[in-house]
Amino acid sequence: MTTIAVVDYDMGNLHSACKGLENAGATTIVTDSVKEMERAEAIVLPGVGAFDPTIQHLRSRDLIQPIKDIIASGKPFLGICLGLQILFEGSEEGSEPGLGVVSGMVRRFRPEPNITIPHMGWNQLHLTQPQIPLWQPLPHHPWVYFVHSYYADTADPTLTAATISHGTQTVTAAIARDTLMAVQFHPEKSSTAGLQILSNFVALVKSQSLVGAMGR
């Protein structure tokens, strides 16, 4: 059974994320223990709320450097919503530094006539890396569910795995680099497409574990 550690720092929709992963065949462990994260085959970092409290909660549990080390080790990692944003260097929402795993900043949507901030509800992804395992076998423009006022502005556009349009603004909705993946939307709330994405992540973790076992 594939074991995935879901990081517990009082800022995530843990139950829904766990249920989606378990439906895809994974065993989830909700934890703030670094040892349990290191033993798990993958990490999921969900998050709802604001940037600064998220960083502060992670720091209070001494999780910032361990999470960076786990990502650097190549263990599959999936960030969800704020779990994407905190990977960046910082945010216009607050003053705390981000993890800096990805170069770039988190920025607020520009006000425009006839758009709402926060961006809340269903929107269509444009898959800019359609070949990655996370998107198989989704259509090129799947509908997924968002709740956010800020978006990730990556300094390296090759990391962008999907975008969305909100008004005249086209912004990053997902990033991917090797085994590091993160999405701005909520797959656990995104019906069939979201459950497929979680299932794809579990399948990727299983394949990575198999490759690792064969190499030992």
CA distance 55 to 69: 16
DSSP string, 6-23: EE-SS-S-HHHHHHHHHH
Catalytic residue among 57, 119, 166, 186: 186
Six-digit token string for 8:
């517990």
CA distance 45 to 8: 8
Catalytic residue among 18, 41, 57, 81: 81
Instruction: List Cα–Cα distances, 192 to 147, 163, 196, in angstroms.
Output: 18, 19, 6
CA distance 123 to 152: 16
3-state helix, strand, coil in the chain (%, to 5): 35, 30, 35
| 166 classed as catalytic | no
Strand partners, 21: none
| 188 classed as catalytic | yes
CA distance 105 to 153: 5
| 81 classed as catalytic | yes
Residues identified as active-site: 81, 186, 188
